[in-house]
Amino acid sequence: MPQDCIFCKIVAGDIKATKLYQDESVTVFKDINPQAPTHILVIPNQHIEAISEASPEDQVILGKLMLTAAHIAREESVADNGYRLVVNNGRDGGQTVFHLHVHLLAGRPMRWPPG
Residues with active-site annotation:
101
Alpha-carbon distance of 75 to 61, in angstroms, equals 20
5 binds Zn ion (CB under 5 A): yes
Asked if 110 contacts 79 with a C-beta cutoff of 8 angstroms, the reply is: no
Residue 83 contact partner, candidates ligand 5GP, Zn ion, none, CB within 5 to 8 A by sort of partner:
none
Q: Which of ligand 5GP, Zn ion, none interacts with 47 (beta carbon under 5 to 8 A by kind)?
A: Zn ion
Position 12 contacts ligand 5GP (CB under 6 A):
no
Binding of ligand 5GP at residue 5 (CB under 6 A)?
no
Among the residue ranges 30-38, 63-71, 77-85, 105-113, the one whose residues contact ligand 5GP (CB under 6 A) = 30-38
* 70, 79 Cβ separation under 8 angstroms: yes
Using DSSP's 3-state secondary structure scheme, residue 105 falls into strand
Return the SS3 of 102.
strand
